[in-house]
Amino acid sequence: MDHRPQLEQPQPQPQPLPLPLAALERDVAALCEAWAGSLPAMMGVIGGGAQAEVEQMSDSGLVKVTDALAIVRRDVDVMLARVAAEVTKRSGREFGDVGLAKAQGFHNPVRLIAASTGASRSDAAKLIAVGAATAQRQTFSGERLPPRHPYPCMPTPAMPSSLMPGSNSKRFRTEFFIQASNILNHANQVGFSGVQTSPFFGQATAALPGRRIETGTRFSF
């Protein structure tokens, strides 16, 4: 009989969460804590699903859960914009029929994102635009640079466009412009006569206007 001690089998270790999802994991944990803390003692909780538990939350707890849900939604929207921009990048015209969107049976990436998210094409296009505008840049040497347009939040079907990067709720805009023609004030003759019997044959009969400078201001809202 073999009395050798049996070696314990190593237990599989949980896979670490990818770093980009660490913020989402942290905020989901905070949401779970806020949800549990908003309910009465376990003995007093009446089961019945999410609706029943929401109705039993205290006022302060309900506010905390709302704030926590908004943070989680923002985290998801941030990642969704990143993914949408990459889908668009891999669906460029240069890829032809083997591009990601067409390979999946969609005419363009906007329709693919709209189908995946259940949003309208307009909202899908906004999501792609924000993801592309806020994506990290990359130099020829492969170095990654921070985005040109950092943003605090992502557009969603329920989020007003005024919260999108680069937009302003008032949308005031002032432009100044200046334009000039014939700035050296040369005589630009035109209308040369081609009638051989005319005393003005080969001579100009008119000239373009002299120097002209215009300035202006445009205000839009």
Residue pLDDT, tens place only, 149-178:
665 444 444 444 444 544 444 456 787 878
Q: Phi-psi bin for 65: left (phi > 0), alpha (psi -120 to 50), beta?
A: alpha
Distance CA 127, CA 81 (A): 5
Beta strand ranges found along the chain (DSSP E): 137-138, 144-145, 173-181, 189-192, 204-207, 212-220
Q: Indicate whether 8 belongs to any domain.
A: no
Task: List pLDDT tens digits, range 22-51.
Answer: 888 999 999 999 998 998 876 556 667 888
Give the bridge partners for 137, in sequence order: 145
Q: How many domains does the chain contain in total?
A: 2
Q: Indicate whether 118 belongs to any domain.
A: yes
pLDDT of residue 3: 57
pLDDT of residue 132: 85
- 86 and 144 assigned to the same domain: yes
- 53 and 135 assigned to the same domain: yes
Helix (H, G, I), strand (E, B) or coil at 190: strand
163, 186, 210 - which closes a domain = 163
- 99 and 28 assigned to the same domain: yes
Distance CA 165, CA 173 (A): 16
- 206 and 141 assigned to the same domain: no
Give the bridge partners for 176, in sequence order: 217
Instruction: Identify the DSSP state of 91.
Output: T
Helix (H, G, I), strand (E, B) or coil at 166: coil
Q: Indicate whether 200 belongs to any domain.
A: yes
User: Residue 173 in contact with residue 221, Cβ under 8 Å?
Assistant: yes
Per-residue confidence at 15, pLDDT binned at 50, 70, 90? low
**Which domain range does residue 141 map to?**
19-163
φ, ψ dihedrals at 189, nearest 5°:
-80, 145
pLDDT of residue 218: 76
Q: Indicate whether 7 belongs to any domain.
A: no
Q: Indicate whether 33 belongs to any domain.
A: yes
Q: Indicate whether 3 belongs to any domain.
A: no
User: Residue 213 in contact with residue 184, Cβ under 8 Å?
Assistant: no
Distance CA 13, CA 59 (A): 40
- 83 and 147 assigned to the same domain: yes
